[in-house]
Amino acid sequence: MQENSFDAVILGGGLGGLLSAVILAKAGMNVCVLEKNRQVGGSLQSFAFQKTAFDSCVHYIGGLKEGHSLHQIFRYAGIMEGLKLHELREEGFDQILFGEEQNSYPIAGRAHFVEHLMPYFPKEKAVMEAYLEDIYQTASQFSLYFLRQGNSEGKIASMSLTMTGHLRALGASERLLQVLLGNNLLYSGVADVTPFYVHALSTDGYLHSAHKVLPASSQIAKLLWRELQQQGGVIYRHVAVSRLHEGAGGIEYAEASDGRRFYGRHFISSIHPSMLIQMLDGSGLRPSFIHRIQALPQTPSGMMINLVLRPGAYHYEACNIYWHPSGDSLARPSAEGLIWPDTQALFFSEDEKRPGYAATVSILVYARLEDYAAWQDTENIIGVQHRRSEDYEAFKEAQADCILKKTFARFPGLKAAVSAQSVATPLSFRDYTGTRDGSLYGPLKDATHPARNIMAARTRIPNLLLTGQNLNMHGVMGVSVSAVATCSELLGMDYLLQQIREA
């Protein structure tokens, strides 16, 4: 085998790429991962600010407790035992708040879900029970989520149900609907568009268990990297793939922007498909497929404000807060930006030295890349850092101040507890993960155009496969299941599922 030649070349070292690499390497394949950044992990990256660890994206994960498929997949990948987990409150891992209202509606684990919402919705017990059952039944249609083989009939039927339409059909009052969809920033839900299955698959894992990874979710990427090395695989960092050379039998090699070539029998891409298409130099894909991919609407981008808190200054509760200032959990940034910023998600971390007090809080809101158009030709990532201009810094701080003014008014005591802040914008998300327009979760799923939501792991180019959040579902759970689906194309589904179940 020539140098830089592999059984599988994997494009992108986020969760999808790393997990696929580990699965294939465990099956004896000679694998390499090409990652454009210095830090692997994609949305699992973390960073230190003022000597404090922050997650860049992933703040909590569903389904890591024993008994759920994600736990089993991570066990098979050899990383479960190395993860240090912090469990969020089972009686309300998420708290949903509206406007100035004092009620804090808890989203609790499955066993206590109804009991904890009953005080607020005493007449809707049956609706809540039916909702829980529907989450389970809908998720079950996607058999791979339960590490089973299955047919696609039920799955296809559920693709055209919207989350809002389905909850109304169940008889949920408008306030209960607002609460059940209150954490929709997790999957960028859109009223009358987002399919119920997207809500169900995003929610099912959290209803089972909700954890933070300590000290940060980048541990998952680090452990996968270690496991990959142990299995003989290799990661090339600072390798930005710019071109895929197509020959008669499919892709021959991936070329990096510095000219290096990586040859392979198989290529697996976790890169956003519309970026991937631009890298192909042949005509292996159908024009209709290319057109469909390029036309897919994307989930919006976001801003994350990371606050370092003074020791012992702000209490910690093991839960996240989703606050909807306008009272509407489905409000979205409008073209005029009139209601911006609305939904805010607050993710806290506990101070190890002072249990009961928070060390940090990260605030996520939707944001529009268009607002940053003036700086869209600049790039700022560690290793290729071109500091953006002062007017960019001023603009982003002004936007952060606008968000924080609202936050501080709603959460008394928080302002006085802050000692430092750092802000990530849509450009940061774009540059660190390579997603189109800084989109948080890739293509937007649309129940009114169900066929658009389907993307197969196999492409028309015989040795090019897709994986990652752009394939089926985003999120740690969704991307892990996609890695299994993709690798099963090379290893066989029966074999792989058996290996995972027996791990």
* Binding segment (CB under 6 A) for ligand FAD, from list 1-9, 192-200, 365-373, 467-475: 467-475
Q: In Å, what is the CA distance from 49 to each residue of 52, 348, 448?
A: 5, 15, 43
How many residues touch ligand FAD (CB under 6 A)? 37
d(CA 100, CA 410): 7
Question: Which one of residues 59, 211, 368, 388 is an interface residue with ligand FAD (CB under 6 A)?
Answer: 59
* Binding segment (CB under 6 A) for ligand FAD, from list 59-67, 79-87, 286-294, 349-357: 59-67
Query: With respect to ligand FAD, which residue has the nearer C-beta, 36 or 208?
Result: 36
User: Which amino acid belongs to residue 240?
Assistant: A
d(CA 476, CA 212): 12
Question: Which one of residues 22, 29, 36, 94 is an interface residue with ligand FAD (CB under 6 A)?
Answer: 36
- Return the residues of window 441-460 that contact ligand FAD according to CB under 6 A: 441
Q: What does the DSSP assignment read for 109-178?
A: -GGGHHHHHTTT-TT-HHHHHHHHHHHHHHHHHSGGGGT----SHHHHHHTT-BHHHHHHHHT--HHHHH
Question: Which one of residues 25, 61, 455, 457 is an interface residue with ligand FAD (CB under 6 A)?
Answer: 61
Counted residue by residue, the chain has a size of 503
Q: Is 37 one of the binding residues for ligand FAD (CB under 6 A)? A: yes
Closest separation in Å from C-beta 169 to ligand FAD: 28
Q: Is 438 one of the binding residues for ligand FAD (CB under 6 A)? A: no
* Binding segment (CB under 6 A) for ligand FAD, from list 57-65, 222-230, 366-374, 392-400: 57-65
User: Which amino acid belongs to residue 299?
Assistant: T
Q: Is 241 one of the binding residues for ligand FAD (CB under 6 A)? A: yes
Question: Which one of residues 60, 225, 314, 323 is an interface residue with ligand FAD (CB under 6 A)?
Answer: 60
Q: Is 134 one of the binding residues for ligand FAD (CB under 6 A)? A: no
Phi, psi of 370 (to 5 degrees): -55, -35
* Binding segment (CB under 6 A) for ligand FAD, from list 39-47, 64-72, 112-120, 449-457: 39-47
Question: Which one of residues 440, 464, 485, 491 is an interface residue with ligand FAD (CB under 6 A)?
Answer: 440
Question: Which one of residues 34, 296, 427, 500 is an interface residue with ligand FAD (CB under 6 A)?
Answer: 34
Q: Is 14 one of the binding residues for ligand FAD (CB under 6 A)? A: yes
Q: Using the Cα atoms of residue 387, residue 393, residue 399 and residue 404 in order, give the sign of their dihedral.
A: positive
Question: Which one of residues 7, 13, 263, 274 is an interface residue with ligand FAD (CB under 6 A)?
Answer: 13
Question: Which one of residues 158, 162, 343, 433 is an interface residue with ligand FAD (CB under 6 A)?
Answer: 433
Burial 323-341 (b: 16+ CB within 10 A, else e): bbbeebbbbbbeeeeeebb
Q: Is 58 one of the binding residues for ligand FAD (CB under 6 A)? A: yes
Q: What is the DSSP letter of 425?
A: -
Q: What is the dihedral of CA 211, 217, 220, 222, to 10 degrees?
A: -150
With beta carbons less than 8 A apart as the criterion, state whether 318 and 457 touch.
no
Question: Which one of residues 24, 31, 44, 127 is an interface residue with ligand FAD (CB under 6 A)?
Answer: 44
With beta carbons less than 8 A apart as the criterion, state whether 29 and 267 touch.
no
Cis peptide before 122 (omega within 30 of 0): no
Q: Is 273 one of the binding residues for ligand FAD (CB under 6 A)? A: no
d(CA 142, CA 138): 7
Contact residues toward ligand FAD (CB under 6 A) are 11-17, 34-37, 42-44, 57-61, 240-241, 270-271, 302, 364, 429, 433-435, 440-441, 468-469, 474-476, 479
